[in-house]
Structure 1
Amino acid sequence: MSVYIIGLIDVQDPEGYPTYSQQVPATLEPYGGQFLVRGGQPEALEGTAPERVVVLAFPSAEQARGWYESEEYARLRPLRQQMASGHLVLVHGVDVPS
């Protein structure tokens, strides 16, 4: 069963944000992570939509936490926190019948 990290992000520094976002993909590979959603044009059906939505998929919770706590991502996290605010949550997926 896959595990997801979902980010609801509001960017305060759109010119600087690519400095962070361009470096993230390389940090995912060792943990089996991949982008399912990256930015897009969120549309609020209820509540308020953030500027960006990010959905990362990982094979396991251990790999998702391993990525988040890795030295590679720990180096980038302060960049994101300086240029954007938001929420990151780890959620477990469900098995979908074929």
Structure 2
Amino acid sequence: MLKGYWVAHVDVKDQAAFEEYKAAAAKPFARYGARFLVRAGQYDVREGSLHPRTVVIEFPTFADALACYDDPDHLAAKAIRDPIASGDLVIVEGYNDQRDG
């Protein structure tokens, strides 16, 4: 099975409240085996425009990535995040370049 990823570009308007979201989201992330590959940090936009915070989260499977987003605990955490952050999020299936035969 291929891994799943959340790729988000976010603008956080209230960092203290965002910390509450992160604490609330920790439980569903742990439940679905989430692993943060990118969590903000230094960046250099070369094309287009993005929100200032980039996050990439890896899940064991694409199904886990979808299920985590729809989990009631994540939706409760998202309700904390929605008023204090805006952005874009895509859930995408990983890639395996191994070929049969």
Larger radius of gyration: 2
Instruction: Kindly report the root-mean-square deviation, in angstroms, between the aligned alpha carbons of the 2 structures.
Output: 1.5
Counterpart in the other structure of 1:29: 30
Counterpart in the other structure of 1:94: 95
Aligned sequence identity (%): 31
Gaps of 5+ in 1: none
Q: Is the 8 A contact 1:6 1:56 kept in 2?
A: yes
Runs of 4+ in 1 over 4 A off after TM superposition: none
Q: After superposition, what is the alpha-carbon deviation per residue over 1:31-62, rounded to whole angstroms, capped at 9, x for unaligned?
A: 12111111112220111232111111112121
Gaps of 5+ in 2: none
Q: Quote how far apart the aligned CAs of 1:96 are.
A: 4.8
Paired AA for residue 74 in structure 1: L
* 2:15 is aligned with 1:14: yes
Paired AA for residue 44 in structure 1: V
Paired AA for residue 34 in structure 2: G
User: Would you say how many aligned residue pairs link Structure 1 and Structure 2?
Assistant: 97
Q: Is the 8 A contact 1:7 1:53 kept in 2?
A: yes
Q: Is the 8 A contact 2:8 2:88 kept in 1?
A: yes
Q: TM-score, normalised by structure 2?
A: 0.85
Q: After superposition, what is the alpha-carbon deviation per residue over 1:41-89, rounded to whole angstroms, capped at 9, x for unaligned?
A: 2220111232111111112121111110111101100111111000110
